[in-house]
Amino acid sequence: MDGKQGEARVVLYTRDGCHLCDDARAVVVQVCAQTGARWREIDIDDDPALVEKYGEYVPVVEVDGVQQGFWRVDATRLARRLA
């Protein structure tokens, strides 16, 4: 998580050992730093309902509660959603 107070606009769903999650995290960190948006990360393996919902589709990124994509996070698209 970015450590800022308040509601996160971006939620990144991940799991340990996921190289695509590492790549997605780097994009989210960069775009959120540029836009000033708050973000948080949730490990789906901590919640069986999230494992059922997302399974092998992680990483999944949401902006304002709306899923924007999975597996690969596009920095341009994410920035546009946060504008």
Across 39-55, b (16+ Cβ under 10 Å) vs e yields bebbebeeeeebeeebe
Report the domain count for the chain. 1
Question: What pLDDT, on a 0 to 100 scale, did the predictor assign at position 32?
Answer: 97
Residue 49 lies in a domain: yes
Residue 15 lies in a domain: yes
Residue 52 lies in a domain: yes
On the question of pLDDT at 1 being above 90, the answer is no
Residue 56 lies in a domain: yes
On the question of pLDDT at 81 being above 60, the answer is yes
pTM of the complete model beyond 0.85: yes
In tens, the pLDDT along 16-73 reads 999 999 999 999 999 999 999 999 999 999 999 999 999 999 999 999 999 999 999 9
What CATH number does residue 21 fall under? 3.40.30.10
Query: Which domain range does residue 17 map to?
Result: 10-82
Residue 5 lies in a domain: no
- In the chain the first and final C-alpha atoms are separated, in Å, by 20
42 beta partners:
13
